[in-house]
Amino acid sequence: MKILALGAGGFIGSHLTERLLRDGYAVTGVDTHSDKLTDALKHPSFTFVATDIADRRFDLDAAVRAADLVIDLIAYANPGLYIRMPLEVFRLNFTENLRIAESCVRHGRRLIQFSSCEVYGKSVAGIAAGDLADPDDPKHATFNEEESPMIMGPVGKHRWIYASAKSLLERVLHAYGLEGRLDYTIVRPFNFIGPRIDYLPSQQDGIPRVFSYFMDALLNGGRMLLVDGGRQRRTYTHIADAVDCIARMVARPGAAHNQIFNVGARGNEVSIRGLAELMREIYAARFRLPGQPLAEIAEVSGREFYGEGYDDSDRRIPDIAKARSLLGWEPRYDLRATLDDAMGYYVAMTRGQA
């Protein structure tokens, strides 16, 4: 089978590409950069096309037509970008991705579309805690692909433009499926982390995702800043577990036909404050150099850290019953093992041990 992987050079894309090549598929990867694809570039069944998907000189239709399966990973997936450049976030995450989907419709190609757990928005407890007998009950923040409502913040909090773009794209794919014009699978990732997740802030400008931000502080003696106290809770998933689930979607097209899947390790929930504390504990025990100061944990407001228009979801726990039943998938890594693996990679890279 020939697979077209759009966004192959990113964190998820690079790990997924390596797995697909190991599984015997021929992969054409498209991205603006290939530095995370060092191993894949050596593989005889991998072809890399260096281009921006928005560049109309790239013949998207021809690339889709030449493939049996299209995997679309292209996205801006960083809260800092949602605040700074909301229109560009919408254009890439909806407009360009819709163009890919419609090419799949024209040529009758199967599409695996990456979405986001952000589409669920806020939990019921996050907006109505005072009306609930037990607002901390996990049932109020456990999201099911078929039944859970999607509760976004107000328009003035334009941080939600990413989630809204992803949600709208999902609804368009669903509509094409209802008409029998598209064979699709939608992936809703729950906070994948692991080696190669981001560049560290000290290596590249911008605001990375929380793991990389904390890792940079630990390595370089900065502060681990908790936005709005770090009360938000997230569920973290090892990239190896995530890729295994996606590989099953590729291999089982009948089971994944026109389905939406949560992909997450529901037992790995932790608050952002808890994440900072656990990362400090692991770093001190395993990676801290003699005499090296340990990063300080401090608090900062969302407005101060991200800018005007910031908002956040309070808690997200995935219901993964569908992935279990249709794909036979179960995550294997607990939270400590997930963090230990990802942190070890960055320590090795920073200290020239990789």
Residues with active-site annotation: 162
Residue 231 CB neighbours (<10 A): 13
Please state, in angstroms and rounded to a whole number, the distance separating the CA atoms of residues 48 and 27: 8
Residue 93 CB neighbours (<10 A): 25
Q: Which amino acid is at 81?
A: L
Chain position carrying tokens 């899947």: 261
Please state, in angstroms and rounded to a whole number, the distance separating the CA atoms of residues 37 and 42: 9
Please state, in angstroms and rounded to a whole number, the distance separating the CA atoms of residues 345 and 350: 9
Residue 328 CB neighbours (<10 A): 11
Please state, in angstroms and rounded to a whole number, the distance separating the CA atoms of residues 307 and 81: 11
User: Strand locations in 155-199, DSSP E?
Assistant: 184-189, 192-193
Please state, in angstroms and rounded to a whole number, the distance separating the CA atoms of residues 266 and 260: 17
Please state, in angstroms and rounded to a whole number, the distance separating the CA atoms of residues 350 and 354: 9
